Structure 1
Amino acid sequence: MILLFLFAICSFVQSVRFDSKHSEVSFSGIASGITLPVYYFHLNLFDENGERLEQSPENSPKVLVSGKDGSQIRGKVEVLDSQDGKFIVRIKTFTSHAWIKIVVTDEFDRHFVNSPATFENLNHDECRCAVEIDTFQKSFRLQDREDDVLLAIEKLSYQQNNELVREYFASRPNSCALCHYVLKSGRIYRECFGQHVGFNMFSDATLVALSRFVNLPDVEFWMNLGDWPHSKKTNENHHFQMISWGSHADFADLVVPTYDLMDSTLGMMHRLSKDQFSVQSSARQVNWSDKIEKGFFRGRDSRQGRLDLAEMSQKNPELIDAAITRYFFFKEDEEKYGKRSEHVPFGDHFNFKYQINVDGTVAAYRLPYLLLGNSAVLKQESAYFEHFYSSLEPFQHFIPLKRDLSDLIQKINWAKENDDKVSDIVKAANKVVEEETAPVKVIWSWISLLKLISERMTGEVHHTDAMEEVHVPKSTRPCSCSSPHNEL
């Protein structure tokens, strides 16, 4: 039996139809012999004149995924309508497949460009079928990472770096949570420091997953498990190599995708309902012209600026709908900040045309998901940043706000008066962030950084007796590795 997925689409705007002769399949997240947590590809829809569609079509694409002899694959397939003339197709395999065939057609069984296609040795994500990093990179046409921080300290040895970090930690043992990782001969070792190191579950899970995808280099590094960066640019004694999930303009930490985005990447179609693919459908359900023309925010009280925003909402309810969902850092004041809000499902945020992004303790981890929706993001000026922020430009991908939010009313009114321009900003943001948060790109951010560290740092890589090994569990299901990896 062949898995057949036929998705009917209802549209309340002027209907359009795609033409299979011009529409194409882009296999951006699937390659023979490469293991990924989820395999995916995109359907790019064009009309009979070769013009790209920008909305859901009236007719429906058909996606068929089968094994040899038309047999059913063991897995799950989802087709997500991005509401902008694209579809995302993703496959979560429950077992390994030596061969699969993918067919994409219109309702009359006419093939899309690049259909049909076949792939070999696609494994479930418990398989350790690691390939060389170069093979992974070439399979998805990925670029090498260049990092000014590492280039500046390329003569630093592992031993020197370890001494600097240990000295730094010794001066503030109660305000840091760090892990020293060593990757050696395919094994993972770590030693953690600090009172609250439970977030090593995220870095452990990342490294275990990466070790199944590629042969990681022998390398050692320090992982910051907290929110605040540590490698101060202006302090030579604190200028060391440290990996963080986010950073600040005054710090030189090496930035990787947040644990939240990495967890979404590794856990999609399994443990999580909200990820960077699902929001491209769920957060684009309301047409631009049907949205409420107000700025919207919900979040906890992790910074005074959020309370200020809630207070502005009380004074300007016709333009702002902002409320605090939970109080922890500040005293609750209903008269000043309004009633505490109940949880609002993330998809419902996009009933509003303008999403207000305000820092929490550091950069708000919600920003990539907001930028993937079809509302405009008004982003507070901030020195904090995540791994993809360098790809964003004000008034091109978001509407900038002053740090103190004093121009928020002005910017909302500007947005209302420049509706077409703001709509274009949303589309540009979607395009950039779709690329930057694609699972392969997120995974590559980690791999390419480890590769670069191994090339720039000097000295021997070795683990100590104080370290414990992070085990990579063996698969309980069969694997079909093209170049079998010896289980360690």
Structure 2
Amino acid sequence: MNALQGPLHIYRAVAGAANGWTRVSSGRRCQTLFKVLVKSLSPKELVRIHVPKPLDRNDGTFLMRYRMYESVNEGLKIEVLYGDKHVAQSPYILKGPVYHEYCDCPEEDPQAWQKTLSCPIKEPQIAKDFASFPSINLQQMLNEVPERFGDERGAIVHYTVLNNHIYRRSLGKYTDFKMFSDEILLSLARKVLLPDLEFYINLGDWPLEHRKVNETPGPIPIISWCGSLDSRDIILPTYDITHSTLEAMRGVTNDLLSIQGNTGPSWINKTEKAFFRGRDSREERLQLVQLSKENPELLDAGITGYFFFQEKEKELGKAKLIGFFDFFKYKYQVNMDGTVAAYRYPYLMLGDSLVLKQDSPYYEHFYMGLEPWKHYVPIKRNLSDLLEKIKWAKENDEEAKKIAKDGQLTARDLLQPHRLYCYYYRVLQKYAQRQSSKPEIRDGMELVPQPNDDTSICQCSRKKSSREEL
């Protein structure tokens, strides 16, 4: 099989290690005959490894995931088989030790860890975010953040990372989403030695710091999940992307990996309309539904839940909920802001439909890697050119298909699980380098413990060094 040549990429969930992808011709027959086996390199090491079915990305590639329930010392052997024959340069050897997700065994050389994950040398968004903060005054943060953002309605969590342990205290009433920041920080700490640092994460939707650099006092580096053109927050991957990456092997359907194996019919068989479903979280969404009513041959848009504009439900109607995978039955996807940036955007980009993206002052951490007319088609914020852009796509099918494909491939690269871990680490590293004083465990902070997974065996072979020895 000539189609079965090329490098292999396999995701080790949930640790976020990404090593490549398998090139294989698609189709039912191929899916039946194609399989991947993951097992211990040593017959003496018997480990539990879950390997679900391959995700067919319908472009000649499959996505493989596996989850280990024990660690192995010798390493892993990965066999890619078509029928009973090795293909795609199989077998692959991952030399050990290889640790499972919940094994607390951090690499003490962050540079070696980043090299292993092939972390990008540059992250333009991180460079832009930290340009406003050549130094970080922890005392100023301690004085200002609780007063400015930590009232009863606040959604701020104060973290200290010290000797690779995570400590935190909540400021405000709306901090339940700390479970996402807790989990990614703990997961990182199990994999690599984190720098000592002290910082505040905003768990709310809107970025908080709107002071300009030349103001007195100047801005402070609040960490948020969403940025905007008029704010100075430092951006991390959203809680949704974070949760998706961590949950990729725990049965969640709409994660960033499984979405790639459920992109609907091939391009030529998709319904030639633009599609949207969502809540009424922005007035332009109501305008979109009205456009849909007036132009049903071009657009199928509906509101699935009314909260902000309940009086409009009788006029516009309420659409039935539809599974996200079914979105990709349509050739064009309309991406519109919700309260801030629409967190469905990465999922839409990973499909194989053309994304029509509303102009927005809001952004997520990966937006700088995408270009209009190369990876998506831009539409004006007031939607005045939406119908024109849909008509353009219909009249220029090959070009629309190419933009959709280029956007999909770029999103695959930007949103790989290991890239999320790299991005988190780089933000923490840059932040720590700029602190003007040593972080401390403050009054009211509690230790966030590592999960106790008694069902998984963890034998860490790395020598534990104290901070003074590093």
TM-score by length of 2: 0.91
Counterpart Cα distance in 1 of 2:267 and 2:372:
21
Specify the SS of the correspondent of 1:400: strand
| Equivalent residues of 2:129, 2:235 under 8 A apart | no
| Equivalent residues of 2:276, 2:335 under 8 A apart | yes
Given residue 62 of structure 2, which amino acid in structure 1 is its aligned partner?
A: F
Counterpart Cα distance in 2 of 1:378 and 1:236:
40
Aligned to 2:102: 126
Structure 2 regions of 5+ residues with no counterpart?
A: none
1:138 aligns with one of 107, 115, 140: 115
Counterpart Cα distance in 1 of 2:44 and 2:163:
41
Q: Deviations over 1:321-346 (max 9, x none)?
A: 10000011112434532x21121001
Given residue 100 of structure 2, which amino acid in structure 1 is its aligned partner?
A: H
Q: 2:145 aligned with 1:165, yes or no?
A: yes
Specify the SS of the correspondent of 2:310: coil
Q: Deviations over 1:193-232 (max 9, x none)?
A: 1121111121111211111111111001110010010111
Q: Deviations over 1:230-271 (max 9, x none)?
A: 111425446101110111011111111110110111111114
Counterpart Cα distance in 2 of 1:103 and 1:70:
18
2:168 aligns with one of 156, 181, 190: 190
Aligned to 2:61: 86
1:440 aligns with one of 408, 418, 431: 418
Given residue 104 of structure 2, which amino acid in structure 1 is its aligned partner?
A: R
1:298-447 equivalences in 2 (<5 Å):
298-334=277-313, 336-337=315-316, 339-447=317-425
Aligned to 1:13: none
Specify the SS of the correspondent of 2:131: helix
Cα 1:69–1:156 change in 2 (3 A) is closer
Counterpart Cα distance in 1 of 2:35 and 2:19:
14
Counterpart Cα distance in 1 of 2:376 and 2:248:
27
Counterpart Cα distance in 1 of 2:311 and 2:171:
35
Counterpart Cα distance in 1 of 2:39 and 2:130:
46
| Equivalent residues of 2:34, 2:82 under 8 A apart | yes
Structure 1 regions of 5+ residues with no counterpart?
A: 1-16, 47-52
Counterpart Cα distance in 1 of 2:147 and 2:76:
54
1:155 aligns with one of 135, 141, 162: 135
Counterpart Cα distance in 2 of 1:40 and 1:73:
21
Instruction: Give the fraction of aligned pairs with identical amino acids, expressed as a percent.
Output: 36
Q: Aligned-pair distance for 1:181?
A: 0.6
Counterpart Cα distance in 1 of 2:285 and 2:87:
51
Q: Deviations over 1:7-41 (max 9, x none)?
A: xxxxxxxxxx6444x333246x56xxxx9536554
Specify the SS of the correspondent of 2:96: strand
Counterpart Cα distance in 1 of 2:372 and 2:243:
28
Counterpart Cα distance in 1 of 2:111 and 2:17:
19
1:240 aligns with one of 204, 207, 220: 220
Given residue 149 of structure 2, which amino acid in structure 1 is its aligned partner?
A: F
Cα 1:162–1:463 change in 2 (3 A) is same
- Name whichever of 209-218 and 351-360 sits farther off: 209-218
1:217-236 equivalences in 2 (<5 Å):
217-234=195-212, 236=216
Cα 1:465–1:335 change in 2 (3 A) is closer
Cα 1:149–1:387 change in 2 (3 A) is closer
Q: Aligned-pair distance for 1:143?
A: 2.5
Aligned length: 454
Aligned to 2:266: 287
Runs ≥4 in structure 1, deviation > 6 angstroms? none
| Equivalent residues of 2:14, 2:247 under 8 A apart | no
Cα 1:387–1:479 change in 2 (3 A) is same
| Equivalent residues of 1:378, 1:398 under 8 A apart | yes
- CA RMSD in angstroms comes to 2.3
| Equivalent residues of 2:45, 2:72 under 8 A apart | no
Q: Deviations over 1:374-405 (max 9, x none)?
A: 11110100010000000111111111110000
| Equivalent residues of 1:164, 1:237 under 8 A apart | no
Cα 1:57–1:72 change in 2 (3 A) is farther
Aligned to 2:83: 107
Aligned to 1:7: none
Counterpart Cα distance in 2 of 1:237 and 1:305:
36
Given residue 345 of structure 1, which amino acid in structure 2 is its aligned partner?
A: G
Given residue 111 of structure 2, which amino acid in structure 1 is its aligned partner?
A: D
Aligned to 2:70: 95
Given residue 181 of structure 1, which amino acid in structure 2 is its aligned partner?
A: Y
Q: 2:96 aligned with 1:116, yes or no?
A: no
| Equivalent residues of 1:334, 1:340 under 8 A apart | yes
1:61 aligns with one of 26, 34, 41: 34
Cα 1:472–1:43 change in 2 (3 A) is closer
Q: Aligned-pair distance for 1:480?
A: 2.9
Cα 1:87–1:18 change in 2 (3 A) is farther
Cα 1:474–1:274 change in 2 (3 A) is same
Cα 1:203–1:473 change in 2 (3 A) is same
Given residue 84 of structure 1, which amino acid in structure 2 is its aligned partner?
A: D
Counterpart Cα distance in 2 of 1:70 and 1:465:
49
Cα 1:236–1:472 change in 2 (3 A) is farther
| Equivalent residues of 1:242, 1:254 under 8 A apart | yes
